[in-house]
Chain A
Amino acid sequence: MKHVRAINQKARLIEERFAGAEDSVGPLAERIPFGCSTQLAPGWEVDSGGGTYGLCTPIERDLYDCYHSCYWPAQVPDALTNFADWSRSCGAPVQDWSSIDLVFP
């Protein structure tokens, strides 16, 4: 971790939480930062373990990544084909999440 520096509040929280912890394998779940995890291959609603722990949360933080990359085209409007203007009504979903639109294909 000596080459990695926390640059925002969340990262600092993670750093504080694991301050002093030795590099060891477990508990794995505590080590995984919130957000999409390729290791767990989370689904939109349920993670690979059948629960919600491995999901992106808050989902608003990652929402526009899904939107622009068509990651969950069935659950999130996709920018590529169907809803190019979806993000116009909400520039920063984490702060202004209540103005996020529901779309009706």
Chain B
Amino acid sequence: MSPVPLDPAGDPAVEDADPPAPTEGRSRRSSQGDTQRRRRGGRQGGRQDRTAPATDPEGQSADAADETGHETAQDGESGSARGDRSRRGDSDEESGARRKKVPREGIPVQHPLIEERCVVCHARDDEGKMTRISYMRKTPEAWEISIKRMVRLYFVSLSPEEAKEVVRYLAEEHGLSRQEARAAMYESERRVHWSEEDRDKDLRETCAECHTLGRVLSERRDQQEWKLLKATHLALYPLVDFQSFQGRSSRGGGGRGTTSGATSGNAGGGRGTPPSETAGTSGRGRSQDRADRVLATLTSEQGLFSDEWRDWNQEKREVPLEGRWIVLGHEVGRGPIRGTLDLQRVASGEYQSKWTWLRANGRTVVRQGTGLFYAGHSWRGRSTSTAPGELESLKEVLLLDESWTRMEGRLFTGEYNELGIEVELLRASETPTILGVLGGEMAVPSIGNRIEVIGSGFPEKIVAGDFHLGAGITVLGAERHDESRVNLLVSVDSGVPLGRRAIDFRIHQGPRAITLYDTIDGIRIRPNPGFSRVGGKMRPKQLERFEAVAFTRGPDGVPYNEDDVELMTVPVKWSLEEFPIRPGDDDLQFVGELDSETGVFTPAIDGPNPERRFSANNIGDVYVVATCTMTVPERLEVKKVPDDEEQSGDDGEDATGEVAGAEESTDQESADAANKPIAAADSPPKMIEREFRARGHLLVTVPIYVQWDQNKWNQR
């Protein structure tokens, strides 16, 4: 393995990049049309800057369109697009309107290093606005990607410390607001498991063919900049035009929609379509394509300025993080953690950190690290630990909430950032506050439940009556461990309604962290589907970790649907089964091994496997199977007494509204006792031993040959 370093010095600020994929575009077709589009894209996105020796297609387009620091009334059109229109001979009235200059609002750049190193390509006007840079805002990670590209392709000379300084300035002054950053958190957190299915279909098909939409959510731009983003894609990866940008309807001869036609010029090249279809929307013989429609939406939804960002910009101050934070977290496969984070300020926005965790197995872990705080809401840090069995180095991505009292985020590591810990943090204070509860899942009825309350400011003298969990739930005892942890002994009366309950302390309202259930209806595997990549030669393997969580049927009385209520994780035995897709499917033999005790899947080695048909890679689909035996309460149900003949017919519902024989509507094997009859409702539950089994899907797939994240971007 011989990396291709951008910066031999190992720039900590610049080395880290976008993990999922900062580049775009794919197409397999090579045709004359593609060549023509490539030329058009290159011309449009890459018009030569007269003064700049570098050839940044973004910067050049921007310079061309923004040489005077203004834009036309047709805000956002590139210079070439305007030239095309005037060649077409638009009416004098339209041309006059376009010639009318309107000020282009931007964010001045006031950093000597950026002014010095970037001005070669990014012209600076009298107000301090620099082309491209002043008209976009991004997360720290997104700015790093941009800086790295400038270093890689346009020979920008920056030392590691300088690059870090540039990224930090831009992330501060040209960063996202809190809400904007929250929407892009899953990108910054480098999550492996997320879903963008609810996002706009056009947006997904245009952008997410190659990278996550988190990349898009990590940026805010004005209209012209969004269009230049498309030009950049076309210049750097010209085949993206056919593969993704055009969209099927555009390929078929014209855009399908005209809703954004008034604001979206044609920034791309494209194959010719009849003039009647292109009139008014394009100067290149093609109507707006899917990317244009998406850009129009992004312009309105992710514009350069937002009220929240303006407010923050006016009220900006250093948000103090120093002090103690209470931590509550969960690591898949390893259970909960609780503890503290102590932050010590060493400079403006820079902290030394000390994490002290208590694991589920009772082990105490101390981690030391550093971190930076961006834009008043975003923490980026790193901590290390040499304790055996602990993840040695963890990156930290946290978001501070509006009240400055809570943070949440992910700590992660792994070749593909696949090993992570979800954490919530609460600023320690003298005001009693409950952050969360461990062991808050209790059967109805039950006695002797021991739950641990995690929070802050618990006074030394605490009695059981200080805690309120609702009618029918009695706190029999309270034992204060320290100001952040209290153990409770709780009983639950019979007949208490099932569902969520809040836990309150004296006059302080707490979270709905108590769950009451009658019995366990099944177990589920998370994550599902699991995801792993073969490796070991070209780059390390991507591991996957599983855990099983018990659940009870929800209010609808039917298990295995969205109404189910997840309870606690449970110990299980793990195994793999074939996921048959084709006759003779043999993936199970080759994809890797699942530890039967820990639920950790280790994929097989990468590369062609001569033992497989066609020397296929060791990729494939398998089932992950979890089995366990638990002693659970037998469900107490009252059979419906039919009021009349009609109701006693085949409607299948009992007196509680529960569907009889609900398990028949599912394919899960553990539903066999979902509606067991029948005992008096007020009698103590009979404990029965049940076997549970669940299956999940595991995909073992190919590696990625580009490592966008070198995991060093916050090291000092």
B699 within 8 A of A: yes
Q: Are A103 and B3 in contact (CB under 8 A)?
A: yes
Q: Are B707 and A74 in contact (CB under 8 A)?
A: no
In the complex, A73 Cα to B27 Cα: how many Å?
10
Q: Are B616 and A74 in contact (CB under 8 A)?
A: no
SS class of chain B's interface: helix, strand, loop or mixed?
Answer: loop
Question: Which residues of chain B are within 8 angstroms of A76 by Cβ–Cβ distance?
Answer: 705-706
List A residues 11-47 near B (Cβ within 8 Å).
13, 27, 29-30, 34, 36, 38, 43-46
B469 within 8 A of A: no
Smallest CB-CB separation from B608: which chain A residue? A58
B195 within 8 A of A: no
List A residues 81-96 near B (Cβ within 8 Å).
81-83, 85-86, 89, 94
In the complex, A84 Cα to B564 Cα: how many Å?
53
Q: Are B538 and A55 in contact (CB under 8 A)?
A: no
Known: A58-B607, A70-B237, A105-B152. A75 touches B705 (CB 8 A): yes
Smallest CB-CB separation from A32: which chain B residue? B582
Q: Which of B4, B15, B587 touches A101 (beta carbons < 8 Å)? A: B4
In the complex, A45 Cα to B587 Cα: how many Å?
16
B350 within 8 A of A: no
Q: Are B701 and A55 in contact (CB under 8 A)?
A: yes
Question: Which residues of chain B are within 8 angstroms of A104 by Cβ–Cβ distance?
Answer: 3-6, 15, 706-707, 710
Q: Which of A13, A74, A102 touches B538 (beta carbons < 8 Å)? A: A102
In the complex, A95 Cα to B681 Cα: how many Å?
70
In the complex, A48 Cα to B271 Cα: how many Å?
27
Least distance between A64 CB and chain B CB atoms (Å): 11
In the complex, A58 Cα to B581 Cα: how many Å?
18
Q: Are B21 and A74 in contact (CB under 8 A)?
A: yes
Known: A69-B27, A82-B152, A105-B6. A75 touches B620 (CB 8 A): no
Known: A51-B621, A76-B705. A97 touches B537 (CB 8 A): yes
Q: Are B702 and A55 in contact (CB under 8 A)?
A: yes
Q: Are A97 and B239 in contact (CB under 8 A)?
A: no
**What is the interface residue range for chain B against chain A?**
35 or more
Known: A46-B699, A83-B4. A73 touches B26 (CB 8 A): yes
| Residue with the greatest number of chain A CB neighbours at <10 A, chosen from B5, B26, B28 | B26
Q: Are A100 and B538 in contact (CB under 8 A)?
A: yes
Known: A82-B153, A100-B538, A103-B705. A70 touches B239 (CB 8 A): yes
B276 within 8 A of A: no
| Residue with the greatest number of chain A CB neighbours at <10 A, chosen from B23, B609, B616, B706 | B706
B25 within 8 A of A: yes
Q: Are B615 and A75 in contact (CB under 8 A)?
A: no
List B residues 130-159 near A (Cβ within 8 Å).
148-149, 152-153
Question: Which residues of chain A are within 8 angstroms of B702 by Cβ–Cβ distance?
Answer: 44-45, 55-57, 59
Q: Which of B21, B23, B582, B608 touches A97 (beta carbons < 8 Å)? A: B608
In the complex, A97 Cα to B615 Cα: how many Å?
12
Smallest CB-CB separation from B19: which chain A residue? A74
In the complex, A77 Cα to B700 Cα: how many Å?
22
Q: Which of A27, A46, A57, A80 touches B583 (beta carbons < 8 Å)? A: A27
Q: Which of B22, B587, B701 touches A46 (beta carbons < 8 Å)? A: B701
Question: Which residues of chain B are within 8 angstroms of A52 by Cβ–Cβ distance?
Answer: 587, 619-621, 699-701
Q: Are B705 and A100 in contact (CB under 8 A)?
A: yes
Smallest CB-CB separation from B4: which chain A residue? A103
Question: Which residues of chain A are within 8 angstroms of B587 by Cβ–Cβ distance?
Answer: 52
Interface 0/1 of B512-533, CB less than 8 Å to A: 0000000000000000010101
| Residue with the greatest number of chain B CB neighbours at <10 A, chosen from A13, A53, A61 | A53
Question: Which residues of chain B are within 8 angstroms of A82 by Cβ–Cβ distance?
Answer: 23, 152-153
User: Across chains A and B, which 5 residue pairs bring their CB atoms closest together, nearest first?
Assistant: A74-B21, A58-B608, A73-B23, A57-B616, A104-B3
A residues apposed to B, CB below 8 Å:
10, 13, 27, 29-30, 34, 36, 38, 43-46, 50-53, 55-61, 63, 65-66, 69-78, 80-83, 85-86, 89, 94, 97-98, 100-105
- Having A59-B702, A82-B153, one finds 4 other A-B pairs with CB under 8 Å, namely A57-B617, A60-B607, A60-B617, A82-B152
